[in-house]
Amino acid sequence: MSDTAYLNGEFLPLAEARIPVLDRGFIFGDGVYEVIPVYSRRPFRLPEHLRRLQRSLDAIRLGNPMTDSDWTRLVNDLVARHAGEDQSVYLQVTRGVAKRDHAFPSGAKPTVFMMSSPLVTPPREQVEQGVPCITATDYRWLKCDVKSVSLLANCLLRQLAAEAGAVEVVLFRDGCLTEASASNVFVVRNGKLLGPPKNHLILPGITYDVVLELAAAKGIAVELRAIPEQEVRSADELWVTSSSKEVLAVATLDGKAVGGGRPGPVFRTLHQAFQEFKRKVMRQAA
Ligand code: PLP
């Protein structure tokens, strides 16, 4: 099966998908997106992803071009056109094609694009040993809760991590933890799981919610509050979470060991719970 994409009403080979250069996604980064993990050919938490998509569209004042049942049908159709058991579905909606002008065009039709790639989750070695991360100042805008395709700041920040041989860059704004360039971040101190609260400074991760649900189920105490940088640097455990990273322990931060320098006991409990949970959900959906 060749890589198939969906663009404005039709499925076609990804390599043949084209958009006009005046698409506002290309010109202004004027659009939003979602990345949906697919396990055993079933989209994981699709209603939650579609709810977040609606939230992002509302935030940029762009009407949803499709109903949730249309999206669900299209996502499943795209998955069916790819051979992989585990996939990563990317979907993007932009404000469409119009003469270049910052103010919204009247009558432009949103551009809808979707593609699917193999889902690449962390290799076993990273899960067992943890990963290196660095830190940086979070200089992104003040609407980080919108899953916008305008990701220049995130790209610049992630490049710092790439150049340092690190997996992610953990961000601080005004002395407190926000998130990472493409992940949420959790801290463990004295057996308690700490996370930054959901507000305009972080993306409300779908994995973030799963982690909180699993922590509650495992009886792990959770506190969502502003987390000063010093509490991150002296954490017992530090994790990054996202749809592709799932739950991953940070072994070193700026070259210094986090806790014992290896994934800690709370991580191991949560990681195992996450693996069991996703397979259980998939079996139930079958
Ligand atoms: N924060 C940012 C900035 C992200 O880009 C992402 C995912 O790409 C996340 C957090 C994690 O979100 P999710 O768990 O929905 O993948």
pLDDT at position 135 over 70:
yes
Q: How far away, in angstroms, is 245 Cα from ligand 1 center?
A: 10
Average pLDDT, the chain: 97
184 lines ligand 1 (CB under 6 A): yes
Encoding tokens for residue 117?
Answer: 């790639």
Mean pLDDT calculated for residue range 24-42: 97
157 lines ligand 1 (CB under 6 A): no
d(CA 21, CA 104): 17
pLDDT at 2: 67
Instruction: Tell me if residue 1 falls in helix, strand or coil.
Output: coil
pLDDT at 127: 98
Q: How far away, in angstroms, is 205 Cα from ligand 1 center?
A: 5
Contact predicate 31/149, CB 8 Å? yes
* Catalytic residue list contains 278: no
Q: What is the CA radius of gyration of the chain?
A: 19
Question: Which entry of 99, 109, 143, 147 is annotated as an active-site residue?
Answer: 147
- With the most atoms of ligand 1 within 8 angstroms of its CB, the residue from 91, 139, 179, 242 to mutate is 242
d(CA 275, CA 110): 37
Ligand 1 atom showing the smallest separation from residue 202 Cα: 1
201 lines ligand 1 (CB under 6 A): no
pLDDT at 230: 98
Reference 71, options 43, 98, 97, 94; nearest CA is: 43
Encoding tokens for residue 165?
Answer: 């041989």
pLDDT at 282: 79
Q: How confident is the model at residue 154 (pLDDT cuts 50, 70, 90)?
A: very high
Ligand 1 atom showing the smallest separation from residue 210 Cα: 14
- With the most atoms of ligand 1 within 8 angstroms of its CB, the residue from 243, 245, 270 to mutate is 243
The amino acid present at 195, given as its one-letter code, is G
Give the tens place of pLDDT for each residue, 234-244.
Answer: 999 999 999 99
Contact predicate 195/224, CB 8 Å? yes
Strand extents, DSSP E, 192-274 = 192-195, 222-224, 237-242, 246-253, 256-257
Mean pLDDT calculated for residue range 67-93: 98
